[in-house]
């Protein structure tokens, strides 16, 4: 087996062009890790942070730089990225196993998310604790779209507010990487009546994945409608709780996918407002195994916008950064 592999590295912060395709040594796994031949990954907000690209919407322009600085320190390094190889979500085949790993075998097909990064590469050392079984009814490319995108939606409905059958759920940003999973989970896992909000070019797609109703935000100010929703999941920080009060049922809850997107969100967190919830993605093996079950049962499936080869990771980052993705942006590593 050759000792070199192709990988995309990021040695300094900057625009997508700082990413470079190189040939480097294959990683060595620790005793509690496995080495996988990685076949794909997909782009998430955290990849923008690793690269120092466009950060999520942040309240108060004045503190945007400060928040960017702390997020960068949290996810990367102060002056340059700590993790050279970008990408957290992976899908592949185990090729070697650490001496402390007993639950997995060489040849197993796995997927998941590693906070250590390293997924934009042909080989990746992954802690066994984050490995989950790859959904058997998806190709490697399709499965690469799942980690990162599905888990914020899972947390919203499993942990923050679980919809009862028939509850009215409004999903703002229904056409994006996270929103497409959220629509399918609310509808097919929890039996909610789902309304998706998206732009004009995505209306048909959001209907196709199961939304009962779709609102084109360019044609209708849904915050002024007479409808009442039990749960509003704002995936893309387009609104806030105050703006949605008119359309929230009396016992309803607004879920912010990005808690720091507006001063009002921060105020609701600080005052422990019971009608406001927020959380962070759960990328654990348990979460990924649950999502695998839902995929194999046909309840959810990834919606893929574009698949880029590893050599076009720069283009993939540019694409995601536009904020106009229709589902997930995937990188295939053949």
Ligand X SMILES: NC(=O)c1ccc[n+]([C@@H]2O[C@H](COP(=O)([O-])OP(=O)(O)OC[C@H]3O[C@@H](n4cnc5c(N)ncnc54)[C@H](OP(=O)(O)O)[C@@H]3O)[C@@H](O)[C@H]2O)c1
Binding residues for ligand X, rule: CB under 6 A, are 44-45, 56-57, 152, 172-173, 175-179, 197-199, 201-202, 217, 235-238, 257-258, 280-281, 323-326
Per-residue CA distances from 95 to 124, 187, 297 (Å): 10, 38, 28
Closest contact distance (angstroms) between CB of 132 and ligand X is 18
The whole-angstrom separation of Cα 329 and Cα 334 is: 16
Give backbone dihedrals phi and psi of 190, rounded to 5 degrees, phi first. -105, -10
114 or 257, CB closer to ligand X?
A: 257
d(C-alpha 277, C-alpha 288), whole Å: 22
CB of 317 or CB of 326, closer to ligand X: 326
Tokens of 261: 């997107």
Residue (38 or 45) nearer to ligand X, CB: 45
Nearest residue to 168 (alpha-carbon basis) of 253, 294, 281, 241: 253
Compute the least distance from the CB of residue 326 to ligand X, in Å: 5
The token pair at 292 is 């695998």
Shortest distance in whole angstroms from residue 28 CB to ligand X: 30
* Residues in CB range of 257: below 8 A, 6 or more apart: 152, 156, 173, 178, 233, 234, 235, 236, 237, 278
Q: How far is the CB of 29 from ligand X (least distance, A)?
A: 27
3-state SS, residue 5: strand
Indicate the residue among 36 and 170 with the shorter CB distance to ligand X.
170
Nearer to ligand X, 15 or 279 (CB): 279
Handedness of CA 230, 236, 238, 243 (dihedral sign): positive
Long-range contacts of residues 222-225, Cβ cutoff 8 Å, at least 24 apart:
222/170, 222/197, 222/247, 223/247
d(CA 249, CA 235): 19
**How near is the Cβ of 2 to ligand X at its closest, in Å?**
35
Q: How far is the CB of 90 from ligand X (least distance, A)?
A: 17
Give the nearest distance from C-beta 218 to ligand X in angstroms.
8
Distance separating alpha carbons of residues 246 and 27, to the nearest angstrom: 54
For ligand X, the closer of residues 197 and 285 by Cβ is 197
Nearer to ligand X, 30 or 306 (CB): 306
The Cα 94–Cα 64 span in angstroms is 41
């Amino acid at each position: 087996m050759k000792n070199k592999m192709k990988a995309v590295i990021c040695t300094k912060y900057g625009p997508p062009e700082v990413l470079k395709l190189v040939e480097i040594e294959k990683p060595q796994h620790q005793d509690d890790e496995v080495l996988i031949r990685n076949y794909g990954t997909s782009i998430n907000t955290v990849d923008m942070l690793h690269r120092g690209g466009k950060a999520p919407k942040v309240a108060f322009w004045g503190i945007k730089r400060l928040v960017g600085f702390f997020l960068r320190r949290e996810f990367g390094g102060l002056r340059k990225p700590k993790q050279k190889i970008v990408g957290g979500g992976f899908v592949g085949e185990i090729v070697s196993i650490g001496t402390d790993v007993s639950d997995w075998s060489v040849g197993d097909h796995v997927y998941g998310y590693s906070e250590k990064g390293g997924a934009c590469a042909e080989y990746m050392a992954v802690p066994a604790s984050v490995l989950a079984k790859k959904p058997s009814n998806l190709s490697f490319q399709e499965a690469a779209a799942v980690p990162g995108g599905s888990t914020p939606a899972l947390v919203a409905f499993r942990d923050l507010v679980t919809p009862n059958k028939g509850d009215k759920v409004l999903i703002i940003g229904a056409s994006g990487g996270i929103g497409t999973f959220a629509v399918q989970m609310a509808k097919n896992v929890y039996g909610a009546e789902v309304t998706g909000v998206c732009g004009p070019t995505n209306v048909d797609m959001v209907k196709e994945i199961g939304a009962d109703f779709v609102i084109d935000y360019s044609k209708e100010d849904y915050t002024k409608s007479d409808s009442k929703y039990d749960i509003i999941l704002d995936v893309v920080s387009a609104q806030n709780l105050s703006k949605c009060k008119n359309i929230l049922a009396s016992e309803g809850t607004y879920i912010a996918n990005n808690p720091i997107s507006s001063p009002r969100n921060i105020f609701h967190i600080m005052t422990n407002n019971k009608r406001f919830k927020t959380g962070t993605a759960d990328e654990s093996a348990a979460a990924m195994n649950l999502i695998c079950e839902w995929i194999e049962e046909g309840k959810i499936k990834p919606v893929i916008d574009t698949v880029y080869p590893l050599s076009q990771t720069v283009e993939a980052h540019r694409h995601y950064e536009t904020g106009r993705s229709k589902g997930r942006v995937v990188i295939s590593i053949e």
